[in-house]
Structure 1
């Protein structure tokens, strides 16, 4: 099951690829703006001069060829051009055990040789990689740094593997789920070995954190796919989500509740920006929590295919009870009434709601990432989805059969969050952990201080 990718289909953008936020509450349906990617290449210029009345011959000269990130991606295994997104500045704090490429790219038991020779570009750009194996998805981004705080994605992979399928009931990863994940990770391993990676970080989250056989599974991954993954804790996961979305928080913002609704857990970070602003958004986290509930685990407990209004309300109540135990939930009470406070959601749930809101015939990341939705628009979209049966959800191009049994569980988590932190505005982020990893790797490596060359 191929997942829509969050990086491989978008050009490099500024703060976001969607429209700026509305001037005040109650504005919805704003047109999206697109930035055309500037292109340069070999060119010719004519030159005619006159000296002492005699015309010189017109002489053609070839300009020096500019170096672009796409020079790095001419590999036989990938045929897509270099396209990417802007990332936020990296967050603060020491990342746990950040391995370099040599540590995480162990040779598999049967390594696959490169298919063809790659001619090196004029100036080599350092390449960084981030892999996120979650409860529902396996995702990879490979990127090169560009302007300060930005990077260009040169390769990406995303697949729904449902690694956490049955985990809630059994406490263990199932054999079919592990097989699906290993096959996806083999593809990721091939992509990484076909490149000269300067630094990479490969992480596993809630499914491997909680499963009795999580460590055993990762040992199998290292043997068969040649990838060494690290299980990160929930605080690190919350910080990486913030790092990945920093460029969507505007300068006049006073407070943000950022949430990442995952497959097996949901991370929430409260961000206070009323004081002096740091370049690293994660420096402003004043409180955070990780709920041990996500779209997969909630749907397995309550059912995802047939969801009545009563079942939906029960899911909302379940999450609300967990949020009631979050001691730091009131740390932004002083800015909740401000027009410069908003929610920021990074997950398949909010991007799906945005796609349905825009009535897209096909999911388009460039129109969704950075989109502002007002309170009434979110209410209408949740109500619409709750009113649809399973087949109607499957038929929507922004949901599809792969997400139809999970999207209402995600909406229930969203509704519980909105009840605790009511806001007139929600900003949608089609970015997250992988982008946060890349931001931190590049910042720590100092490539932005050295004009991207390291």
Structure 2
């Protein structure tokens, strides 16, 4: 087992994460910490890091070093971004950090910062064409991504902290100051004309983007409190932007979802995102909870495994495989069999259900993860699996798709209202979603029943369909005893007829 720490020291905040890589190659997070240190405060005026900001950073770094010592973590990837990069005393501060904590910190270029943010996103969000921005305290990194590859990337020296100081937008700036701020931002963005008019989705990294996700979730009553891969429409963004602009500073902190340590910076950050919406013509912003730190890790992990690229070929498959490796007691042969039979039934019954690749991907996800709830308790493990799937670090699905997959798995022992009552997200799927969930969960239940004894005895299934009768001809391993599987599958005949409107007959040979 290997442990690794990652430190990201930005202009506004400092973040620390600790991860472990098990002997089987599975990685998982152990700890994370974030503090607002305002390291870049005053930088735009003095050109130097302030004594107070450096002391706040050092206090955090000493705590992180202690945690690494206690956790027996010897490998640390520590980077500093725009504030240290631009400060006249930045190099001297890094020397002091090393002398007082033993942590060696690297100043990275804006281009590398953009690349690491791209790695964090491309490995965790299923998107191939987008405009990526990472808005920090002293700069914004912008990348145009097409076909999953970065075409152009640049760092622009406008950030939430530096803009707030330059235009004094921390309290009630007035329309004149806000207009001057917006005009300045547009001038600074003239060199990134290649993003203009693309119409591609924005993907946002950073505290400002995350704050807008939280505010929108609170404003709309969104039930799932999860930021990563949350989709915010342009209209909702503009409504929130108007609310922020028109709310006095004394009342701004009371806006649901807006934290106190972000309230004084939010107007400047809003102006940057508004400018990016205007330039690109985007209709939505996808918020990424993964960025530079995850990018650093994926780069390290790829090198450790001698991979050709730090980008996974299939991020959903990779994240499921990684998660299953972290769960004790899983039966890989059973999982493979249930997944195979689920896919086979999906393909055979496609004329009845009419679903395509997206729905099949949900079924496969549910099949691979259907038993993870056993780590909590064998009894009612389908219900536990539903909760875990809904919250596990699975990448490549939208938030709603992940919820739908969780319900498919939650019903793999039969459709139960107990799962819906126990799982708070039952109102999120639409009526069409629920029809799909019930049908695909029926297929998963049949696949699970076919391997009731964990012997993988079903070799193949063929189907005939006529006069509203489905006949499944099930071929088993020669000499196999299939009585238990036959009985278990027969318990699902009524459910099948209810969901598909057809009679199901099982023929064993």
The answer to whether the 8 A contact 1:257-1:270 is kept is yes
The residue number in structure 2 matching 1:311 is 177
Corresponding residue of 2:153: 288
Deviation of 1:362 (Å): 12
Tell me the CA shift for residue 374 of structure 1. 1.4
- 2:303 aligned with 1:427, yes or no? no
**CA separation in 2, counterparts of 1:153 and 1:347?**
20
Q: CA deviation at 1:148?
A: 11
Following TM superposition, by how much is the alpha carbon of 1:151 offset from its aligned partner in structure 2, in angstroms? 3.7
SS of match in other structure, 2:298: helix
Q: Pick closer, same or farther for the CA change 1:177–1:362 going to 2, 3 Å.
A: farther
Counterpart of 1:193 (choices 60, 63, 69) is 69
1:255 paired to 2:114: no
- The answer to whether the 8 Å contact 2:232/2:286 transfers is yes
Instruction: Answer yes or no: is 1:217 the counterpart of 2:98.
Output: no
Shift of 1:447: 8.1
1:399 aligns with 2:273: no
Q: Which has the higher contact order (CA 8 A, sep 6+)?
A: 1
Q: CA distance change for structure 1 residues 358 and 327 in 2, over 3 Å: closer, same or farther?
A: closer
User: What's the counterpart of residue 438 of structure 1?
Assistant: 297
- Counterpart contact for 1:244–1:432, Cα < 8 Å: yes
Task: Report what 1:320 is aligned to.
Answer: 186
Alignment match, 2:215: 356
Question: 2: distance between equivalents of 1:157 and 1:364?
Answer: 25
Preserved CA contact (<8 Å) 1:386 1:408? yes
Give the match for residue 163 of structure 2: 298
Considering fraction of residues, name the structure with more helix. 2
Between the aligned partners of 1:448 and 1:153, the Cα distance in structure 2 is 21
- 2:204 is matched with which residue? 345
2:53 corresponds to 1:183? no
CA shift, 1:194, in A, is: 2.2
Is 1:147–1:448's contact at 8 Å kept on the other side of the alignment? no
Query: In the superposition, relative to structure 1, how do residues 398 and 448 fare at CA in structure 2: closer, same or farther (>3 Å)?
Result: farther
Q: Return the alpha-carbon distance in structure 1 between the equivalents of residues 223 and 8 of structure 2.
A: 22
* 1:232 matched residue in structure 2: 108
1:243 to 1:366, Cα distance in 2 relative to 1, 3 A: farther
Q: Structure 1-normalised TM-score?
A: 0.64
| CA offset digits 1:349-393 (Å, max 9, x no partner) | 111111111117999994222111112111111111111111222
For 1:405 and 1:413, locate their aligned partners in 2 and report how far apart those are by CA, in whole Å. Answer: 15
- How far is the alpha carbon of 1:316 from its aligned partner? 1.6
Which residue in the other structure is 1:169 paired with? 45
Helix, strand or coil at the partner of 2:261: helix
Distance (Å, rounded) in 2 between the aligned partners of 1:424 and 1:209: 33
* Structure-1 separation of matches of 2:74 and 2:245: 46
Q: Go from structure 1 to structure 2 and tell me whether the alpha carbon gap of 1:223 and 1:383 turns closer, same or farther (over 3 Å shift).
A: same
Contact 2:204 2:288 in 1 (8 A): yes
Return the offset for 1:343: 0.9
Change in Cα spacing, 1:185 to 1:385, as seen in structure 2 (3 Å) is same
After superposition, the CA RMSD in angstroms is 2.9
Any residues of structure 2 matched to 1:365-376 within 5 Å, and which?
366-376=225-235
Secondary structure (helix, strand or coil) at the match of 2:208 reads helix
Provide the residue aligned with 1:133 in structure 2: 9
Count, aligned residues: 311
Could you say if the C-alpha distance between residues 301 and 398 of structure 1 is closer, same or farther in structure 2, counting changes exceeding 3 Å?
same
Moved over 6 A (4+): 146-150, 360-365
1:291-330 CA deviation, whole Å, 9 max, x = no partner? 1110000000111112223322221211111111235435
- Listed as ranges, the gaps of 5+ residues in structure 2 are 309-320, 326-509
1:202 lines up with 2:78 in the alignment: yes
TM-score (norm 2): 0.57
**CA displacement at 1:195 relative to structure 2:** 2.8
Which stretch has the larger CA shift, 166-175 or 424-433?
A: 424-433
Rg larger for: 2
Question: Any idea what the Cα deviations from partners look like across 1:103-134, whole Å, max 9, x if unmatched?
Answer: xxxxxxxxxxxxxxxxxxxxxx3222211001
Equivalent position to 1:267, from 133, 141, 147: 141
**1:223-259 CA distances to partner (integer Å, 9 max, x unpaired)?**
1122110100111100011111124432xx4520000
What CA distance in whole angstroms lies between the structure 2 residues aligned with 1:360 and 1:383? 14
Partners of 1:184 and 1:364 in 2: CA distance: 34
Q: Is the 8 A contact 1:128 1:442 kept in 2?
A: no
Show structure 1 runs of 5+ residues with no match. Answer: 1-124, 274-280
Q: Secondary structure at the match of 2:161?
A: helix
